[in-house]
Amino acid sequence: MTKPNQPSANIQWGGRFSGGPADIMQEINASIGFDRKLWRQDVRGSLAHASMLAHVGVISAEDKVAIADGLAGIAAEIEAGTFAFTEALEDIHMNIEARLTDRIGEAGKRLHTARSRNDQVATDFRLWVRDAIDGLSAQITDVMLAMATRAAEFAAAPMPGFTHLQTAQPVTFGHHLLAYVEMLSRDRGRLADARARLNECPLGSAALAGTSFPIDRQMTASALGFDRPTANSLDAVSDRDFALEFLGAAAICAMHLSRFAEELVIWCSAPYRFVALSDAFTTGSSIMPQKRNPDAAELVRAKTGRITGSLVGLLTVMKGLPLAYAKDMQEDKEPVFDAAEALALCLAAIAGMARDLTPDLGRMAEFAGSGFATATDLADWLVRALKLPFREAHHVTGRLVARAEALGVDLAGLPLADMQAVEPRIDASVFAVLSVAASVGSRTSYGGTAPSNVAVQAARWLDALR
């Protein structure tokens, strides 16, 4: 049974069908509720297709002009919010084509010559993902710039470095922030790689076998900014690797943002109090007036699950599909749209928090020396000064840590006599390596946390990003 005031069948393909779809069929089949996001890409693809058809003589120059004018008018309607989308026409492609025919008549019906919705949507979707990659890459660059700027500011500010969330060795806050700059650089690289691989144009592959019309696929590919046309029509209409690769890169990037968000949550907590976020990125409690909750960071952490879910969802959709196109692929767009929107929001939030946070440098420095954080420096001194094999030096240092723990002091506070009771050759020069400042300053190996290193790396990144 059809819905009132709607055609008994989709007028764009109704020649084969005399009856209309059941209500549930129309609802499950329609994608206009979400694929309307592709309208800009659909108009671009149609303009390129019409120009190519006119160039090879399949349609007239007059038809090409009419189509271009009609599509410009439709774009203006959609921009103004006056375009009447209808579920009866299923998707963005049919909605635009039907409106084009309404506006310009017979010329509008000629636009779909030598193409199918299969290659049309594959082209539109690649264009959309490409645009999304460009926007997200710019946002990643902004986050990197925010973190590199703060890294330069705090290149020499000591903080505890952790493994297993236990104090390990002192590092600097700048060094810690630059670790995320490196991660984000890889994220940006993955998106660039995905963009390069997706930059082939499916248009002209038609339904699955190509077309008998004398089309110029290189012309449409070039017009749309693609490097080349796809080489196999079956693969072109059924491939969604580009969407999966985009989601994979997005999921990894979101995971990195979530790790930083988790650290912000920890650092803002009362037991740590390493950093504070302003009112701009925190919320209060409905019952506890003292609370300042790092909700922006927590929501970044949570949205990572949505983005990862989008990747797993689309992998599951695609895993059992034979060649070529199947309607299952209609489920490809919503996870990509959702993931791109969520990642954009997460990147904006992280950039904002990176610029907003205020570190408590005194508390960070205090904790940097806790938990016998300079024990490795002591072991290294034993190797350098006393020529002990490192494994023996490790053992000696462990005994000294146990002695300091028993006395309730840190290694710098352990009396020399107690040290010599374990290793008689230790002398007073050992104390020069046991401070936090000496520890971080000594890590001068390439990539190490020495403030001089961090300052150089931060400057390198700032030069590259600006």
Residues labelled as active-site residues: 164, 285
Q: Are 247 and 307 in contact (CB under 8 A)?
A: yes
What values do phi and psi take at 53, rounded to 5? -60, -40
Q: Are 390 and 379 in contact (CB under 8 A)?
A: yes
C-alpha to C-alpha distance for 259 and 200, rounded to whole angstroms: 34
Residue 372, token pair as written in the block:
């016998």
> Which residues have a Cβ under 8 Å from the Cβ of 196 and sit 6 or more positions away?
none
What values do phi and psi take at 423, rounded to 5? -140, 100
Q: Is 81 helix (H, G, I), strand (E, B) or coil?
A: coil
Three-state SS annotation for 162-222: EECCEEEEEEEHHHHHHHHHHHHHHHHHHHHHHHHHHCEECCCCCCCCCCCCCCCHHHHHH
- 200-201 and 228-229 beta bridge pairing: parallel
**Beta bridge mates, 359:** 275
DSSP state of 322: P
C-alpha to C-alpha distance for 151 and 179, rounded to whole angstroms: 10
DSSP 86-139: -GGG-SHHHHHHHHHHHHHTHHHHHTTTT--HHHHHHHHHHHHHHHHHHHHHHH
Residue 136, token pair as written in the block:
């997200």
What values do phi and psi take at 387, rounded to 5? 60, 30
> Which residues have a Cβ under 8 Å from the Cβ of 158 and sit 6 or more positions away?
170, 171, 172, 173, 364, 365, 368, 436, 437, 440
CA 242 vs. chain centroid, Å, equals: 14
Q: Tell whether omega for the bond before 148 is within 30 degrees of 0, i.e. cis.
A: no
CA 399 vs. chain centroid, Å, equals: 47
- 158-163 and 166-172 beta bridge pairing: antiparallel
